[in-house]
Structure 1
């Protein structure tokens, strides 16, 4: 039988899809390149924004339409699955798989093939180990989830309800997964968590993120180590020291602020003030002068005034982020904000504020990117873009595009930057690594 997985949302969803694909392949299923070729289709969904949830429902509609034409098993996984539960069976899905039940995907599909409709939400994260097979989307970079769930309960966020409370993987299990990856030729890994800085706190065995980064850097073959996503009050001095001193740890920090207004931050249940956030940035930059810091901001949160918004603008100008992810507030059913706060900022005003910040960030990006002009930068070549150019990232997470060929993917290359934009940089190859360890077959 053939399977097809459509993934929406964050990198953790991507990693979950890689795990489901690995489990299905091990069981004898084969990947299909299109839904039309498949016997089983799975939508791995995201519920963080209304738009992402709507995309998932649209895809479900398309799969159900296909199901009327051919024999097809349709499943829904991810955050929408956890949020909507059995209601998705009523919409026509054959199975619904909870966010902590990914290791049981094969068992659930077997039940469906026996004629049942299944909604499965048991917690099987203890089975989420290095022994699970995974079909990676890259041959040189791997996502590695190290902590599931979130205990922060920001008032706008559905994640604590769909992903559950924080649960860390044992450090030795993570390191064993990375050792296997290194043996297979992987050179970069990204540690993932909804609140990755909280890693290890629940284990109470001395594990914490800075220690994990140090231990990972000792594994031969691993050249770069990334981590996502951080929460400001969990960002420790030990973590800053590791970023500063360890050459394998990326000089890139994604540190969502969400708003520059203390009043709005309090309504969001973010556990810091704008002053504390800016002080943290100053501390990081004092220890890691070449660090790249990016962030997330939500515009149009309930009761956000023009004064609140201008405080956010002021913070963005002071912070000088290298990248800024912007989102318009949308109420998420089940959250505190949905229950208690009226969504009272007009949509057109939300759009205006987001556009204002987008334009500001473009100006900041262009100014910061000018520092790269004429410099030679080392990247790991990632892939070919739709434009036909190849691209890679330096250790600061700056994307640089250049002429290349498929043999360069996964290798180090030195690129001389010749053209600056507010987005990617453009340059030419001045050196390319000759020999790279061959990549073994997919992790099975």
Structure 2
């Protein structure tokens, strides 16, 4: 039986899809890369914003048409949408629903659905996922490695603690065992994942931490780069900053969502820091980590956000000068404190206006920061090829570099001289491959 996954949302979902694919393949299913010819389609869903939820509901509707036409046998829903909607997705036409912390049971759930049962499986079996769990990796040189599940922060706008559950760290020895397997496969880059990755180890004994895990992982000779995301500001320790500063394999990049530059809005969001704390954290990181790249997330139009609140956010963006900024318009999420107690009172037109102001500001910042790259030579690990036949990859600061070349393998490390800048990718000329 052929199975196709369509994955929405964050890298955690990508990692979960790799796990479910690996388990199904081990159990005799054929994983296919397109909808055409599939017998089973599983949507690994995201509900962080209403737009994300609307997308998979729209896809579900399209799949139901194919099923009625006899072109599809079963439709499954995985991920955060399963935890949020559960039985309602069965009522909407799905054949089975499996929760975000239930991925280890995908083969059993699918078998029950094949046997004609309508299944909603939301049990927490996440502790059974470990280094020996099969995974069907999407890259030969880079791997997502989930080290902590769930979130304990309960920001008022966020549904993740309700869909992903409480924080649970994986034992360090098990994570290192997974890395050892990855090295044998030829992987040279790893990204440690968690909804709040910096909280790793807080629930473990022996003073385990993300910083110590990075140090241990860097001891694998063939691992060249170690990334981590996503960070919560108050969980970033001096120990972590020192490791990133001094370990040559640690990517010089922090993704630290700020969400707003207004203390009043931060309090309403239940973000447990103030604007000044965030600014001092950025300064602390930049004073220790040479050339560090700092990126962030901002929510535009949170309930009661005034023009003054917005201008404080604009001011923070100007002060920090993020290398990259992910912007999202606020949308109420079912089950959150904000959806229950706060009126979504900022008009759509005002949200769009504020979003566009921040987008334009960030474009100017990107141009300014990228201009410093002109003429520089950077080391790039090759990730892919564009439709125009150009290679692209990232440097250790998470800058996307596009360049011309030939006979280059994905995952290969090359030296590129930057010859053109934009507000987005940088463009360069291949200087040499490693070892040449």
TM over 0.5: yes
- Output the TM-score relative to the length of structure 2: 0.98
Q: Per-residue deviation at 1:390?
A: 1.1
- Output the TM-score relative to the length of structure 1: 0.97
- The reply to whether residue 9 of structure 1 matches residue 16 of structure 2 is no
1:344 paired residue number: 345
1:53 paired residue number: 53
> 1-side partners of 2:295 and 2:258: how far apart?
9
SS at match of 2:166: coil
Please give the per-residue CA displacement for 1:229-285, whole angstroms capped at 9, x wherever unaligned: 000000000000000000000000000000000000000000000000000000000
> Which 4+ residue blocks in structure 1 deviate beyond 6 angstroms?
none
Equivalent pairs counted in the alignment come to: 435
2:166 paired residue number: 165
1:18 paired residue number: 18
Please give the per-residue CA displacement for 1:334-370, whole angstroms capped at 9, x wherever unaligned: 0000000000000010001000000000000000001
SS at match of 1:23: helix
SS at match of 1:391: strand
SS at match of 2:216: helix
> 1-side partners of 2:34 and 2:223: how far apart?
34
1:299 paired residue number: 300
> 1-side partners of 2:142 and 2:229: how far apart?
14
1:377 paired residue number: 378
- The reply to whether residue 223 of structure 1 matches residue 224 of structure 2 is yes
Q: Is the 8 A contact 1:36 1:66 kept in 2?
A: no
> 1-side partners of 2:407 and 2:349: how far apart?
45
Q: Is the 8 A contact 1:183 1:221 kept in 2?
A: no
> 2-side partners of 1:310 and 1:169: how far apart?
41
Please give the per-residue CA displacement for 1:149-205, whole angstroms capped at 9, x wherever unaligned: 000000000000000000110000000000110111000000000000000111233
Structure 1 window deviating more from structure 2 (35-44 vs 2-11): it is 35-44
SS at match of 1:36: coil
> 1-side partners of 2:407 and 2:306: how far apart?
51
Q: Per-residue deviation at 1:406?
A: 5.8
Q: Is the 8 A contact 1:408 1:432 kept in 2?
A: no
CA RMSD, Structure 1 to Structure 2 (Å): 1.0
Unpaired runs of 5+ residues, structure 2, are none
SS at match of 1:220: coil
SS at match of 1:428: strand
SS at match of 2:213: helix
1:81 paired residue number: 82
SS at match of 1:37: coil
1:119 paired residue number: 120
> 1-side partners of 2:268 and 2:205: how far apart?
31
2:409 paired residue number: 408
Please give the per-residue CA displacement for 1:12-45, whole angstroms capped at 9, x wherever unaligned: 0000001111111111111223223111110000
> 2-side partners of 1:341 and 1:388: how far apart?
49
Q: Per-residue deviation at 1:408?
A: 2.8
> 2-side partners of 1:93 and 1:130: how far apart?
31
**Mapping for residues 97-136 of structure 1, pairs under 5 Å:** 97-136=98-137
Q: Is the 8 A contact 1:415 1:430 kept in 2?
A: yes
SS at match of 1:407: coil
2:368 paired residue number: 367
1:439 paired residue number: none
Structure 1 window deviating more from structure 2 (274-283 vs 378-387): it is 378-387
**Mapping for residues 281-320 of structure 1, pairs under 5 Å:** 281-320=282-321
> 2-side partners of 1:222 and 1:56: how far apart?
36
**Mapping for residues 34-49 of structure 1, pairs under 5 Å:** 34-49=34-49
Please give the per-residue CA displacement for 1:58-110, whole angstroms capped at 9, x wherever unaligned: 11111111111125111000011110001100001000000110000000000
1:418 paired residue number: 419
Q: Per-residue deviation at 1:114?
A: 1.1
Unpaired runs of 5+ residues, structure 1, are 436-444
SS at match of 2:424: coil
Q: Per-residue deviation at 1:434?
A: 5.7
> 1-side partners of 2:434 and 2:193: how far apart?
28
1:66 paired residue number: 66
Q: Per-residue deviation at 1:118?
A: 0.2
